[in-house]
């Protein structure tokens, strides 16, 4: 965990010296796995394309994740903060709909 130094205004706390600072812990934001789910209609090529364009995976890694999704029913594409994960899930759904595929993507807190 990171620590942040906060300067205390001497007018607010006259009992403290002006140069004394207070430390407080900053919590890391929660992380979320973004998961692709297998279906019987979305092509393997399209899944690889999604992994490369939305998740910036190299072709080799994209093919490995696609095969994991195909064989196991789902596969993790990456781990992100909530806002980034939500955006990626939305991008996947938009791309899939635009191309006529029912590809499902979800997020799960780590």
pLDDT tens digits, residue range 71-83? 999 999 999 999 9
**Is 82 among the domain residues?**
yes
Cβ partners under 8 Å of residue 104, min gap 6: 36, 37, 39, 93
pLDDT for the residue 24: 79
**Is 103 among the domain residues?**
yes
The CATH number assigned to the domain holding 56 equals 3.30.1390.10
Rounded to an integer, what distance in angstroms lies between the CA atom of residue 104 and that of residue 72?
Answer: 14
pLDDT for the residue 96: 98
How many structural domains are present in the chain? 1
Domain range for 37 = 31-109
**Is 88 among the domain residues?**
yes
**Is 45 among the domain residues?**
yes
pLDDT for the residue 32: 98
**Is 8 among the domain residues?**
no
Sign of the CA dihedral running 86, 43, 41, 64: negative
Q: What is the pLDDT of residues 13-58, one digit of tens each?
A: 666 555 555 677 899 999 999 999 999 999 999 999 999 999 999 9
**Is 21 among the domain residues?**
no
């Amino acid at each position: 965990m990171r620590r942040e130094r906060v300067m205390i205004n001497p007018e607010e706390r006259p009992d403290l010296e002006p140069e004394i600072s207070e430390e407080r812990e900053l919590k890391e934001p929660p992380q979320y796995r973004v998961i692709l789910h297998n279906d019987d209609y979305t092509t393997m090529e399209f899944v690889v394309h999604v992994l490369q364009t939305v998740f910036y995976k190299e072709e080799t890694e994209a093919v490995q994740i696609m095969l994991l999704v195909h064989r196991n029913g789902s596969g993790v594409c990456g781990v992100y903060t909530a806002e980034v994960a939500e955006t990626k899930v939305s991008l996947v759904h938009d791309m899939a709909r635009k191309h006529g595929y029912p590809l499902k993507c979800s997020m799960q807190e780590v």
